[in-house]
Structure 1
Amino acid sequence: VVGYVSFSEAAHAITDYIVGYYSALRPHEYNGGLPPNESENRYWKNSNSVASFC
């Protein structure tokens, strides 16, 4: 069993997991199976192209 030496070490490891994998790379059903970063990139790409027509 691997544990953490301190609360700070645990908080850092958990934050790295959330930011580095869960929120950035893991596909989410809500986004049509896309990772959040890809979904956001597509959103801004589409919104910029629409905004340029106004």
Structure 2
Amino acid sequence: MSSVVMVVVDDCPVALSGRQDGAMRMWDLTTGRYSGAALRGHASEVTSAAAAGRQMSRT
């Protein structure tokens, strides 16, 4: 894991983690488990992550 950001998505606290393989994962902080499939599309390591606003929605 190379980066982490914590946000609230659909009223659930989650962490988004960036990885060396270019994928990002969403973690449900109430259960400690992955929430959905890995988000892929980066060509290289995800070195930072950021969140804006107070509330996000999963799409």
Normalising by structure 1, we get a TM-score of 0.21
Q: Between Structure 1 and Structure 2, which shows a larger proportion of helix residues?
A: 1
Larger Rg: 1
Greater relative contact order (Cα 8 A, min sep 6): structure 1 or 2? 2
Q: Between Structure 1 and Structure 2, which shows a larger proportion of strand residues?
A: 2
Normalising by structure 2, we get a TM-score of 0.20
